[in-house]
Amino acid sequence: MRCQLGTTGIEVTAIGLGAMPLSLAGRPDEEQAFQVIKTFLDHGGNFIDTANVYCLDDSDLGHNERLIAKVLKRLGKSAEVIVATKGGLKRPRGDWIVDGRPEFLRQSVEQSLKALDTDCITLYQLHAVDPKVGLEASLDALIDLQGEGKIRYLGLSNVNQSQLERALEKAAVVSVQNRCNVLEQWDFQSGLVAFCQKHQITYIPHSPVGGHHGHKRLKAHPLLNQLASRYRTSPYALALAWLLAKGEYILPIPGASKPSSIEDSLKAMEIRLAPEDIAALDALA
Per-residue pLDDT band for 214 (boundaries 50, 70, 90) equals confident
Per-residue pLDDT band for 285 (boundaries 50, 70, 90) equals confident
pTM above 0.95, yes or no: yes
Given a cut of 90, whether residue 78 has pLDDT beyond it is yes
**Residues of the chain above pLDDT 70, percent:** 100
Given a cut of 80, whether residue 1 has pLDDT beyond it is yes
Residue pair 101/139 in contact (Cβ under 8 Å)? The answer is: no
pLDDT of residue 213: 74
**Residues of the chain above pLDDT 90, percent:** 97
pLDDT of residue 118: 98
The superfamily (CATH) of domain 2-215+244-258 is NADP-dependent oxidoreductase domain (3.20.20.100)
Question: What does the pLDDT look like over 160-197, one tens digit per residue?
Answer: 999 999 999 999 999 999 999 999 999 999 999 999 99
Given a cut of 80, whether residue 212 has pLDDT beyond it is no
Per-residue pLDDT band for 79 (boundaries 50, 70, 90) equals very high
Q: Where are the domains of the chain?
A: 2-215+244-258
State the Rg of the chain over Cα: 18
Give the separation between CA 130 and CA 132, rounded to whole angstroms: 5
Residue pair 163/129 in contact (Cβ under 8 Å)? The answer is: yes
User: 74-106: buried (b, 16+ CB within 10 Å) or exposed (e) per residue?
Assistant: eeeebeebbbbbbbbbbbeeeeeebbbbbebbb
pLDDT of residue 69: 98
Per-residue pLDDT band for 40 (boundaries 50, 70, 90) equals very high
Per-residue pLDDT band for 211 (boundaries 50, 70, 90) equals confident
pLDDT of residue 72: 98
Give the separation between CA 228 and CA 237, rounded to whole angstroms: 8
Given a cut of 80, whether residue 239 has pLDDT beyond it is yes
Q: What does the mean pLDDT of the chain come to?
A: 97
Give the separation between CA 226 and CA 224, rounded to whole angstroms: 5
**Which whole number is the average pLDDT over 5-26?**
97
Question: What does the pLDDT look like over 252-272, one tens digit per residue?
Answer: 999 999 999 999 999 999 999
